[in-house]
Structure 1
């Protein structure tokens, strides 16, 4: 298929499709006509000696000439393309593993080999976006059996890079999410590193929340580090907080997370495989898992938490990880800020031992850090929180965190949003409850996590009395438009914070 009739010239359009590879051609170009390509066809694309699989988007305008094609930025970078390069096309055979995905959709239990093939095809970009969505959906709603979660985890571990360390113990911590503002990780990493542990913390960006650990950390330091840079940072200062995608750990997970984010789905089985595969890929040996439980948290009941904890521990045991799951309160947000920069401000206030630092964030961080110290043998059973507290009070945790930021590329102060609006109580009374999910939606409508300074600052919590007109929370936004989106939603949700009459 290298004849002049079916080769096109590349033109740069600068279209961002995240990680999805997309190729753009006119409907009347020689390739579309001769090969019968239609919109959303999956095609093999070659520039020079590099080949990728991309989804075709058809253009019905003069944006491209008949002999021109373009690529999404991710595809352009992958192919190391230059404007004017010749681009070649060929047909793609359907991914054979899709037959096993269809089997899963109809209720079959898949084997290890099935998941190996599925994950391999996902890594090779053989799945279209609808096919990825089908796989994600087929695994949702407790449809994965324990053996399947183990098989999926192992398949994800076997792809991508793995960090190797010259230590017997590599510590880590993870939160299953669902609780706004629960940004304990940077504090725990700093405390653990002071205690002498190696803790190379790799995280994903937010999936369904207003901020993930990486989104928050990025407001204070660079997070997109190479694998060599990660090793250098950990060897130099003992810990890091970086984006897992930057070091190519469990790359299938990064692809699946993009689909989960779009669908607003966080499947329990895939979550376990996602978390534990990245821990193994990062070289972790001992992991503490924070599992908030509450009626509007991700895990809603103690019964669901017990089952999920058991699965985490069984899968971890199967892949030689030492895991301790800790059930924590998930009734209300942690700290005051919700959104990357606002949560970073809370983290810094705790690390610096500020008098007005949110005590709930401080206490939760100490409890989890203490558990990690006990799990790794750095503290006797029951003594972990006290040792963590001593490290934090001494100021050494703040010094360590600053050193980590500097080693990752330089510490910076989180920014502030230009637009804010106070949301006030309509009447006096006691706050009975907070709906975590709807409060998180306010922050997302305000622009978080895409806009790092967007989100909200909480000024009242359950159990406190408020007077009519007293601020409940303040919405922060980077544009007037996103502020209005959040305010319009708030107007339709008067009981996000339920107040007694």
Structure 2
């Protein structure tokens, strides 16, 4: 850079084949005509500009010829967001840190933040102006303490950062589970039941982050989930409901960014969880919301007291924003359904909707219970009749017909619907009764097998808590698509099956 001018240098854009996840990364040759040690020393972030397009990115230097001296390489995420053509000219200069980082520093020092300050932080995060380290600083400082006012401000700011859906009807119902339980694809049963009743339920769901499948991953086995806002509206107007990926309709976009940094740090505070969920429901236009809190030894909530504290936070935020929130606790001691992983879970869902005698009874019963709560919101229903109505819609085939209608409206996804052909049974090491199943362990095992990237990978359970087993009898079957993942999952399962089997006389488990 010429020291006699303030104009930043202009380089030619080069698209480099680097998948840097969520972060914007640019690559500069150490021989670059733009590089001078006294200019870039001490800076890890740079600002790109071309016309009215601006982007902050993390800078990497290379000596291997990946980019030429007159080029700036943009990673795939950076190239996509910058939106400029290969060969176009871009200026580059050391980036000025976002002003909102001053508010993060204030939070680190123990200050409470005002709504405008939290709004500025979330706006910068949603526009990818923060590095992962800066996002982590905000999350950790917020995890230390968060006032009720900050919780409300964070929920509102996250909803405001993306698309906000408005529906021309007085009641829009939704349900949400806080996660952590393998299987548990109740939404895919609840939505067609409730939609068949005639209530509006535009269900937006997440893809998996640390689990073997999110609802969007499993629904994608049956139908396309990456619908735009207008497409989503058309499906809801036609079918009363949908099952789509919330990330594609840009609901609370900062939330997905925050979650992707939270999980590796094992940050999952009550306040951040509530802000995450309620911001998406606020953005989705929900008026009535059912929250499912599974409680169990290896669930996110271990005790009824934990659930009660979280329930109060959901009710507090719901009351503030005018959303009728109902919170119920459910059994989180073991996986729900028999399948863990997208294809296996989709099979469970369709078995329940088809009234297959072999369908998992726990998935059917929990889904009916949740659907009953939502149907009871209908002012035309007499109190307490929701369960009978939900069961009628399921038993009659109306819910299955509605699911097929939703699938047809959303269109085919083209995803594989085949279960992984590499398979191995994990067998009981002793006679006895299943006393416990480790949900966290099964999430990890199924991911090791390749789920959710490989739709057909996962686990099929044969035994649940209370079942009798004999030595050598299969407890579950691991399915995988790739040999490396298969070997990894089988080795992990042989080291720790995730099952606790106790003697039939009720003695201690081994």
| TM-score w.r.t. length of structure 1 | 0.95
Report Cα offsets for 1:284-343 as digits up to 9, x if no partner: 111111110111101111001001001101111111111111111111110011112211
Q: Distance in 2 between matches of 1:395 and 1:112?
A: 49
Secondary structure at the residue paired with 1:139?
helix
Matched residue, 2:463: 460
Mapped pair 1:402 → 2:404: yes
- Counterpart for residue 507 of structure 2: none
- 1:253 is matched with which residue? 255
Aligned match of 1:96: 99
CA displacement, residues 16-58 of structure 1 (integer Å, 9 cap, x when unaligned): 2233221111222122326733697221112343211111122
Deviates more, 1:452-461 or 1:254-263: 254-263
2:43·2:94 contact (CA, 8 Å) conserved in 1?
no
Change over 3 Å in CA distance of 1:368–1:111 after alignment to 2: same
**Which residue in the other structure is 2:13 paired with?**
10
Aligned residue in 2 for 1:235: 237
Give the 5 Å matches for 1:137-286: 137-140=140-143, 143-286=145-288
Distance 1:222 1:367 in 2: 27
Q: Distance in 1 between matches of 2:490 and 2:218?
A: 23
> Could you tell me whether the CA contact under 8 Å between 1:324 and 1:375 is conserved in 2?
no
CA distance in 2, matches of 1:128, 1:33: 23
Rounded to whole Å, the distance in 2 between the matches of 1:63 and 1:125 is 24
Q: 1:305 to 1:256 in 2, by over 3 A?
A: same
Q: Is the 8 A contact 2:11 2:89 kept in 1?
A: yes
2:108 to 99, 105, 108: 105
268-277 vs 131-140, which moves further: 131-140
Q: String of CA shifts for 1:69-97, please: whole Å, max 9, x gaps.
A: 21121221222232222222123211232
Aligned: 1:433 with 2:467: no
Contact 1:156 1:277 in 2 (8 A): yes
Distance 1:38 1:187, change over 3 A: farther
**In structure 2, what is the equivalent of residue 65 of structure 1?**
68
Gap change, CA 1:208 and 1:107, over 3 Å in 2? farther
Cα contact 1:419–1:476 (8 A) shared by 2: yes
CA contact (8 A) 2:8 2:91 kept: no
With over 3 angstroms needed to count, the CA separation of the structure-2 counterparts of 1:341 and 1:158, relative to structure 1, is: same
Structure 1 position 187, deviation (Å)? 0.9
Gaps of 5+ in 2: 504-510
Cα 1:378–1:25 shift into 2, 3 Å: farther
Are 1:132 and 2:135 an aligned pair?
A: yes
Change (3 A) 1:39 1:174: farther
Report whether the alignment pairs 1:500 with 2:506.
no
Q: Which residue of 2 aligns with 1:372?
A: 374
TM-score (norm. length: structure 2): 0.93
Correspondence list, 1:286-435, <5 A: 286-377=288-379, 379-410=381-412, 414-435=417-438
Aligned to 2:78: 75
Shift of 1:147: 2.5
* Greater mean alpha carbon deviation, residues 269-278 or residues 481-490: 481-490
State how far apart, in whole Å, the 1-side matches of 2:300 and 2:8 are.
Answer: 54
2:486 match: 483
Show the counterpart of 2:119. 116
Question: Could you tell me how far apart the structure 2 residues matched to 1:18 and 1:115 are?
Answer: 25
- What is the SS of the residue equivalent to 2:248? helix
Question: Size of the alignment, in residue pairs?
Answer: 499
Q: 1:138 to 1:4 in 2, by over 3 A?
A: closer
Asked if 2 retains the 8 angstrom alpha-carbon contact of 1:32 and 1:38, the reply is no
C-alpha contact 1:11 1:83 (8 A) present in aligned 2? yes
What is the rounded CA distance, in whole Å, between the counterparts of 1:124 and 1:312 in structure 2?
27
Counterpart-to-counterpart distance in 2, 1:184 and 1:484 = 31
- List gaps (5 residues or longer) in structure 1: none
Task: Please state how far the C-alpha of 1:3 moved relative to its aligned partner.
Answer: 9.4
In structure 2, the residue corresponding to 1:66 is in which secondary structure? coil
How much has 1:275 moved relative to structure 2? 0.9
1:22 aligns with 25
